[in-house]
Structure 1
Amino acid sequence: MKIIQDNLYHIYNRGNQKQRLFYSERNYNFFIGKIISYIQPCCDILSYTLMPNHYHLLIHANEQSAELLKGRVLDISKLSEGVRLMQSTYTKAFNSEQGICGNLFQQKAKSKPIEYQSTVQAINTFHYIHKNPVEANLVLYPEDWNYSSFREYLDPDFPGLCNKKLALEILDLDERMFHPKQPSPFIRTLSID
């Protein structure tokens, strides 16, 4: 994936043949640890959600994201390598735990660039990511899903993965718009297919 500094990207992937990626809270938390290890150091995470068979990240590419790693057959960005390592190290641990082998994720993670000036597209993606568990009938409200960044935006003191200050600035959002047990503003225009 070609990464351009200061652009936003919707990064996502799902289980190979739509299989489950997460069977337990331990699986979800382990994957969050992989995001912390491999994604967070090389970009600004604006939102995320982990679903039983796929994940979504909305990121802001910073200077480190686009930096190319040299000494390989092909030069790739730090962010691309981070996504590869996040998935491959999770797959190795998951397969070991389950006593299986083979690909866990579809071959390549998808990365949809969002034009920096397209605030509407960025806001729609932000809400789409948070609304995913509701749309899948896993919970009634976004804040009820333990594996998303929505709670980070409800409580300014909630520790988390996201650069909330940057997200609020880029997306022109107000912290006061996040209320518990309220439908979030959302326009259904995105799909992972």
Structure 2
Amino acid sequence: MTDIRTTSIEADCFYHIYNRGINGENIFKSEQNYLFFLKKISEFLIPVCEVYAYCLMPNHFHLLVKIKSDFELASLVKTAECIPTGLHSPQNIFSKQFSRIFNSYSQAFNKENKRHGALIESPFKRKLINSDSYLINLIIYIHQNPERHAVTDQFSKYNFSSYQTILSKAKTLLKRDEVLELFDNKENFILSHHKMIDFDSELT
């Protein structure tokens, strides 16, 4: 079985990215914490990937992303082309951006909460998504997380997932249209979320 912490990150591929606090410790304690983390995602991840879905929970988070093309990543690092391995590989570029999120967020969180040391497990967990059916079910699973972990009794009203944003018309960096297209339309997107999806056995 492939190690979910060492799975290679490749251009033009979908990945489920997820991680948690050290020893299951809470990594979000206030609304400002959640918003700051989302801001860092916009700042550091959007340049290297497209975000399809997310959910931030008190002690962990889930992201569904599609890594940008080799050409787009190459332009980011101002090279003529991305090479499969090394400094300018998709793996290195994405991992570096993710590290910037963790470092920036952890420093701010530690300062606010008067704590020291690592906050989030490293390296982050990642799983390659290799089918449309898995992609669709994963979006549902990510959005259902708050209800599954009893943070709320209605996941659709949880403020720190992409569910509400996908259904809204507000400006967003999420790939809203692409997500709805996977479900054919908005009505089917809502209906499909009524079925509980269980990936827990895989997320270890």
Question: Is contact 2:180–2:189 with CA below 8 Å preserved after alignment?
Answer: no
State the alpha-carbon separation in 2 of the partners of residues 22 and 35 from structure 1: 15
* 1:7 pairs with 2:16: no
Aligned to 2:58: 52
**Alpha-carbon offset, residue 66 of structure 1:** 5.5
State the alpha-carbon separation in 2 of the partners of residues 33 and 168 from structure 1: 23
Secondary structure at 2:121's aligned position in 1? coil
Deviations 1:160-190 (A, max 9, x none): 3411122234x3442222449x953332134
Aligned to 2:109: 94
- Choose from 49, 62, 65 the match for 1:43: 49
Aligned to 1:185: 195
Secondary structure at 2:194's aligned position in 1? coil
Q: Aligned partner of 1:192: which letter?
A: L
Question: Is contact 2:29–2:58 with CA below 8 Å preserved after alignment?
Answer: yes
Aligned to 1:127: 140
Aligned to 1:175: 186
TM-score (norm 1): 0.86
Question: Is contact 1:131–1:184 with CA below 8 Å preserved after alignment?
Answer: no
CA RMSD of aligned residues (A): 2.3
Q: Aligned partner of 1:154: which letter?
A: L
- Choose from 93, 96, 108 the match for 1:78: 93
Q: Which sections of structure 2, spanning at least 5 residues, go unmatched?
A: 1-6, 80-85
The number of equivalent residue pairs is: 185
**Alpha-carbon offset, residue 141 of structure 1:** 2.0
**Alpha-carbon offset, residue 126 of structure 1:** 0.8
Percentage of identical aligned residues = 32
Q: Aligned partner of 1:19: which letter?
A: E
Deviations 1:139-174 (A, max 9, x none): 12222111000001222x1233411122234x3442
State the alpha-carbon separation in 1 of the partners of residues 185 and 164 from structure 2: 15
Following TM superposition, the consecutive aligned residue runs of length 4 or more in structure 1 with deviations greater than 6 angstroms are: none
State the alpha-carbon separation in 1 of the partners of residues 141 and 12 from structure 2: 21
Q: 1:167 and 1:27, CA in 2 relative to 1: closer, same or farther beyond 3 A?
A: same
Secondary structure at 1:41's aligned position in 2? coil
Secondary structure at 1:139's aligned position in 2? coil
Q: Which sections of structure 1, spanning at least 5 residues, go unmatched?
A: none
Aligned to 2:34: 28
TM-score (norm 2): 0.81
- Choose from 170, 179, 194 the match for 1:158: 170
